[in-house]
Chains A and B, each alone.
Chain A
């Protein structure tokens, strides 16, 4: 049993047989990490769900308020849970598909421990308020560098394994892995380019429209190349395994791959419909998103039909049940994605819970269930003992399925409800629900239903963990490490006689049709990788560069000036608290929006916004024109205790703003970093602290005049008030009296 020779599958039977074994130890580590971080990420999800249902769950600890925990939830489930699941399946399948041990055990181990260290760093820094304010790219620059290093180690290890492989053909799952690895590297590096302004503070080098464009080019492709293509690779490997038959159509899987590579990268702008993004970009994003319908459903059908002749097994095999629901969820969320990218649908859905329901269909159904099915399939193979309990697997499946159903039904209705309430007018032509909070409290019953659905999913997760733990406990004293033998690949390509046994191809077409060149080319995984990169990069450049290089895309507005040093400090607090998770600063050009929030937002207004803070969800009202709407004291009271102003508000309270002092000296480094990015700060590059102190004293005096508390001139609240009162003012005030003098 300990040494099993595989039959030679290559053509070169004369070549020397090599012996090797697979590294399953690292796969087992990733499996544990998948479960542990999955549970952590989902528990944080439960906390934020409770915070939305009742603000009391924000507690009085500033580190645990919704704005700081929500990014922790998204990062944990995407990069920690789904990430480790991908690595687990990829390390298992890659070695077997290539008939080679991973290139370097050191790199495998470095990848594992490096990734876990990054997750821990994220779990510590996000609650502390260190964030770049870009969704799914919140982590600050030192951690971003660590991610790049670990990711490159993974990539080198992967490519190294491909180079020393013993199987000529690269199975399609590996193509999906390659595309994911290279594209994620590109996305991560370009979206996170920033100028540090301290150890855990940086400003994106892009501003406003450009930053939004980069962010959603990244954000959408994080979904595409972190949650979709890696898991499709896993599907194309583990689904045939579980169904015990090859994929329905290998040709379809190849078409699926190339269509996704060519189309996905363009789709990002659909996250910015009706914003200040140029309309042509928005339309391109929509068209490519709609085109994605075809390959996505092709892939779904391909996955499901892999069960041909094995449907009867689904009834008794929980692993197949997980896979069937996962692939169905892939089909549903990729049906819905293009639908949501259509501008008129997006007009209703954007900023609402509809998007949250959409991602949870994908995350809980597709990523979660594919992971569960895969891990259950791996358990007996990795721990070399039967799975502890098949009944627990069944129970996990049913309880998690109903959990998903409850979650998404509740949140879909919440999304549609709020979207319709925002745009409702009464017979006199006025907003039917002028008070924003009315559109929020209406959702609370649905938020409680989500808590129930999410909890069921977590109960399933606990059953999952129990099953893993008990299976692990029954493992043998020492794992059997089979020794595999396979012939090495020849260094030089030799045309294989068995392909048709036909005479040597003649002429240009003959050589093309015989596809000899492709087999040659396939032996050079680096070339293949480079060509995939070209497809991705060229598409990105054509879409993104015009907004940087063509002036007409972002018309400037003379009265728009940089923030004062104090306002900048307030803005940094807004970022640290994660206010952008609930408040947009982007009014769309719809009557119901301009009635409610004021004049729609212009591209030229955010030219100094490093990073952009347009937001993607309105749990609270838009703040783009909040400046001057209320007196200073209103903001002081509102931050101290939101319910004292709006009785039914679900906003967390920020009483510590009134007690914590501003670090005035630190503002200089922030202003300097902004100036380095080309923001015209004039005198402030030399005297930011003094300017901030002067403005703070003015605001504190005004608060006192309005009957508020005294002695606030060095407290954080004045910076926050300064920022709030500035928002949207540039368009209302003559150029000479606003902001910085130059």
Chain B
């Protein structure tokens, strides 16, 4: 009996459904956490990170 026969008869599709539910829960957790009031200040600060980093080039003349 080959491995593929064993796997074929094992009825594993249930695990795929469990995995999907776990994935969904993880995703929803991420999504819900994003909107927690306690995180808003942190996220607001994080969104400004790209704008804070090259003050050192301010002296370089820019044409555009």
B-contacting residues of A (Cβ < 8 Å)?
1, 4, 6-7, 9, 93, 96-97, 99, 167, 169, 171-173, 236-237, 240-241, 244-247, 250-251, 254-255, 258-259, 262, 317-319, 376, 380-381, 384, 386-387, 390, 482, 484, 499-500, 502, 513-515, 518-519, 535, 538-539, 542, 546, 548-552
Contacts and interface: CB of A to CB of B under 8 A. Distances in A.
17 contacts: A4-B59, A93-B50, A99-B53, A237-B50, A241-B50, A245-B51, A317-B64, A380-B61, A381-B54, A386-B61, A482-B57, A499-B42, A500-B41, A548-B4, A549-B7, A550-B8, A551-B5
A1 B50 CA distance: 21
A9 B52 contact: yes
Nearest to A92: B54
B63 to A, nearest CB: 4
4 nearest interchain CB pairs? A386-B63, A482-B56, A250-B47, A96-B53
Interface string B28-62: 00110111101101111111111111111111111
Given A96-B53, A240-B51, A244-B51, A515 B4 contact: no
A262 B19 CA distance: 12
A513 B36 contact: yes
Contacts of A4: 55-56, 58-59
A538 B22 CA distance: 11
Given A254-B34, A259-B27, A518-B33, A169 B45 contact: yes
Contacts of B54: 96, 381
A4 to B, nearest CB: 4
Max count, chain A CB within 10 A of own CB: residue among B8, B41, B58: B8
A7 B48 CA distance: 14
A251 B33 CA distance: 10
Nearest to B20: A542
Given A262-B27, A551-B5, A381 B49 contact: no
Contacts of A262: 23, 27
A60 to B, nearest CB: 49
Contact of B53 (A97, A247, A538): A97
A250 B30 contact: no
A6 B56 contact: yes
Contacts of B23: 262, 535, 538-539
Nearest to A547: B4
Could you tell me the dominant secondary structure of chain B's interface residues?
helix
Contact of B50 (A97, A376, A548, A549): A97
A6 B62 contact: no
B57 A381 contact: yes
A624 B43 CA distance: 56
Contacts of B36: 513, 515
A535 B24 CA distance: 11
Nearest to A249: B47
Nearest to B13: A546
Contacts of B56: 4, 6, 482, 484
A258 B41 CA distance: 21
Given A515-B36, A515-B38, A241 B64 contact: no
A250 B50 CA distance: 12
Contacts, number: 124
B58 to A, nearest CB: 8
B27 to A, nearest CB: 6
Max count, chain B CB within 10 A of own CB: residue among A172, A255, A535, A549: A549
Contacts of A538: 19, 23
A515 B49 contact: no
Given A4-B55, A386-B61, A250 B27 contact: no
A515 B37 CA distance: 11
Contacts of B8: 549-552
Nearest to B35: A251
A308 to B, nearest CB: 13
A62 B46 CA distance: 55
Contacts of A245: 51
Contact of B47 (A96, A246, A384): A246
Nearest to B36: A513
Contacts of B50: 93, 96-97, 171, 173, 236-237, 240-241, 246
B11 to A, nearest CB: 10
A96 B51 CA distance: 10
Contact of A515 (B42, B63, B64): B42
Contacts of A99: 53
Contacts of B35: 251
Given A381-B60, A386-B62, A499-B42, A251 B34 contact: yes
B63 A255 contact: no
A550 B13 CA distance: 11
Nearest to B37: A513
Contacts of A539: 23
Given A1-B59, A240-B47, A258-B27, 10 more contacts: A169-B49, A246-B50, A251-B43, A258-B30, A319-B64, A380-B64, A499-B42, A513-B38, A518-B33, A551-B4
Max count, chain A CB within 10 A of own CB: residue among B45, B48, B60: B60
A244 B64 CA distance: 13
A586 to B, nearest CB: 23
Contacts of B53: 6, 96-97, 99
A549 B57 contact: no
B43 A250 contact: yes
Contacts of B49: 97, 167, 169, 171
B4 A255 contact: no
A4 B16 CA distance: 55
Contacts of B44: 250
Max count, chain B CB within 10 A of own CB: residue among A6, A535, A551: A551
Nearest to A96: B53
